[in-house]
């Protein structure tokens, strides 16, 4: 009888063009045939949504395949009441990066890509579901910081299922099942709002080996009652509740001042080149300033990030580009260099780049040493504030468990 019902279920889905899927699983879902029907039902539901909204259409694109790749997609509610959440994201970005910099797989450093979406903002078009991709997956952490600082809040309708579905179909997700793929969605309205069924979106993510973690800004039980926990269960992730208005300036340490000084020294080792050089070095300086405006601990955390392997600049910095063999000094045109370097011949330029590399390695070693002391100091202070949760703290709490499940390890 079950086998007779399965083709009927597929036929019904196809005939109705249904864009809703009941949360209940089909009886006997451990059966491969039933799982296949469920997957087909999800696909048809997503295809139905794609006919309604452009940002739910699957974008055909070349996706990476890398067992070392960690992808984090942040979906942030930018409606009126979420200023505190955005401030926490700005303040705790570098803390998250620093934890990720300790990860490795098979003895190799990881690669990190982060994407950012905002949703629930009336400044965004209703035809998009009040959703905007702020930045696709990027390794450029300065670009990500710039994107976070560009966010403004404004009252709107928050459609969690829609923004999850959009991120699944628009981003270049890693095709390797050995990589780590995580969505963190944060907000304070019921998870089931909007015409896109969150059940479908979360199950679709889980089927793609993408973990959906939900962060409710408010009371823990209230979040359960408004389906935030259920979204995490369906997406194979974890549910948290945070106080989004909690100060996220960080814990001051005796090492912050010296780390900020080292940040200035490491900046002097960057050699901009090409079309992106001038703009990118200005962006680097601006994000230093943005971090400093938030607090000394945030500025120090950014300095630590810039001393890590995850801070990538090879698209605009000649030192990193030569190190990664993306270019040689002999390939550069004079006009692609800063004015003060244009009179150098290839040999002189190469020597200059190597000197800057040595200087950077020296500064990075000093940053690493101070960072260890700073971490130990913060850990001791955090024990006194156990139980307090913010956007950054719950992401960090979740990272280790979900990363280790994928055989990533921490130094």
Q: Does the residue 61 lie in any domain? A: no
Q: Does the residue 58 lie in any domain? A: no
Do 85 and 175 lie in a common domain?
yes
- Containing domain of residue 6, as a range? 2-52
| Structural domains in the chain (count) | 3
Do 381 and 394 lie in a common domain?
no
Residue 349, token pair as written in the block: 């330029």
Q: What is the pLDDT of residues 275-309, one digit of tens each?
A: 999 999 999 999 999 999 999 999 999 999 999 99
Q: What is the pLDDT of residues 178-195, one digit of tens each?
A: 999 999 999 999 999 999
Do 284 and 208 lie in a common domain?
no
Do 39 and 112 lie in a common domain?
no
Do 355 and 401 lie in a common domain?
no
Do 150 and 95 lie in a common domain?
yes
Q: Which residue(s) pair with 119 in the sheet?
A: 77, 131
Q: Per-residue pLDDT for the chain (411 aa), expressed as one digit of tens each?
A: 344 333 333 333 433 333 344 434 433 356 777 778 888 999 999 999 999 999 999 998 999 999 999 999 999 999 988 999 999 999 999 999 999 999 999 999 999 999 999 999 999 999 999 999 999 999 999 999 999 999 999 987 999 999 999 999 999 999 999 999 999 999 999 999 999 999 999 999 999 999 999 999 999 999 999 999 999 999 999 999 999 998 888 999 999 999 999 999 999 999 999 999 999 999 999 999 999 999 999 999 999 999 999 999 999 999 999 999 999 999 999 999 999 999 999 999 999 999 999 999 999 999 999 999 999 999 898 877 666 689 998 999 899 999 999 999 998
CA distances from 252 to 71, 213, 301, 387 (A): 30, 29, 11, 19
Residue 330, token pair as written in the block: 């002999």
Q: Does the residue 251 lie in any domain? A: no
For residue 34, what pLDDT is reported? Answer: 72
Do 197 and 232 lie in a common domain?
yes
Do 97 and 238 lie in a common domain?
yes
CA distances from 176 to 59, 71, 235 (A): 18, 11, 18
Rounded to the nearest angstrom, the gap between the alpha carbon of residue 31 and the centroid of all alpha carbons in its chain is 35
Do 311 and 169 lie in a common domain?
no
Do 311 and 361 lie in a common domain?
yes
Q: Does the residue 59 lie in any domain? A: no
Report H helices in 63-180: 83-100, 141-149, 160-170
Do 269 and 375 lie in a common domain?
yes
For residue 383, what pLDDT is reported? Answer: 78
Q: Does the residue 106 lie in any domain? A: yes
**What is the chain's length?**
411
Q: Does the residue 60 lie in any domain? A: no
Do 188 and 260 lie in a common domain?
no
CATH number at residue 88: 3.40.50.410
């Amino acid at each position: 009888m079950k086998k007779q019902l399965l083709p009927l279920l597929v036929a019904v889905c196809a005939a109705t063009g249904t864009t809703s899927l009941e949360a209940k699983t089909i009886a006997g879902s451990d059966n491969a045939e039933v799982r296949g029907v469920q997957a087909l039902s999800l696909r048809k539901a997503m295809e139905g949504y794609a006919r309604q909204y452009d940002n739910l259409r699957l974008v055909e694109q070349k996706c990476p395949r890398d067992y070392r790749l960690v992808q984090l997609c942040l979906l942030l509610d930018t409606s009126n009441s979420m200023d505190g959440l955005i401030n926490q994201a700005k303040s705790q970005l570098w803390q998250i990066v620093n934890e990720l910099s300790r990860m490795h797989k098979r003895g190799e450093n990881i690669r990190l890509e982060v994407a950012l979406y905002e949703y629930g903002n009336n400044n965004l078009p209703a035809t998009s579901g009040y959703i905007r991709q702020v930045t696709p997956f990027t390794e450029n952490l300065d670009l990500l910081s710039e994107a976070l600082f560009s966010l403004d809040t404004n009252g709107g309708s928050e459609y969690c299922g829609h923004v999850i579905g959009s991120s699944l179909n628009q981003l270049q997700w890693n095709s390797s099942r050995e990589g780590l793929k995580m969505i963190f969605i944060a907000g304070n309205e019921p998870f089931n709002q909007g015409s896109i069924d969150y059940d479908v979106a979360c199950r679709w993510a889980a089927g793609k080996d993408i973990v959906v973690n939900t962060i409710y800004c408010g009371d823990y039980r209230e979040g359960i009652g408004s389906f935030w926990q259920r979204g995490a269960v369906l997406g194979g992730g974890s549910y948290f509740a945070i106080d989004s208005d909690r100060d996220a300036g960080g814990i001051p340490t005796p090492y912050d001042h010296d780390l900020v000084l080292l940040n200035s020294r490491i900046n002097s080792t960057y050699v901009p080149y090409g079309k992106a050089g001038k703009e990118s070095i200005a962006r680097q300086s601006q994000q230093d300033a943005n971090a400093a405006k938030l607090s000394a601990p945030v500025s120090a955390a950014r300095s630590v990030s810039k001393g890590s392997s995850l801070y990538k600049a090879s698209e605009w910095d000649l030192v990193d580009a030569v190190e990664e063999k993306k270019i040689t000094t002999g390939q550069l045109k004079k006009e692609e260099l800063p004015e003060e370097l244009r009179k150098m011949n290839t040999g002189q330029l190469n020597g200059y780049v190597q000197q800057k590399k040595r200087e950077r390695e020296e500064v990075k070693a000093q940053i690493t040493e101070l960072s260890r002391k700073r971490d130990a100091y913060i850990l001791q202070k955090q024990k006194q504030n156990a139980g307090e949760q913010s956007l950054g703290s719950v992401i960090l709490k979740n990272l280790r468990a979900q990363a280790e499940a994928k055989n990533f390890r921490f130094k």
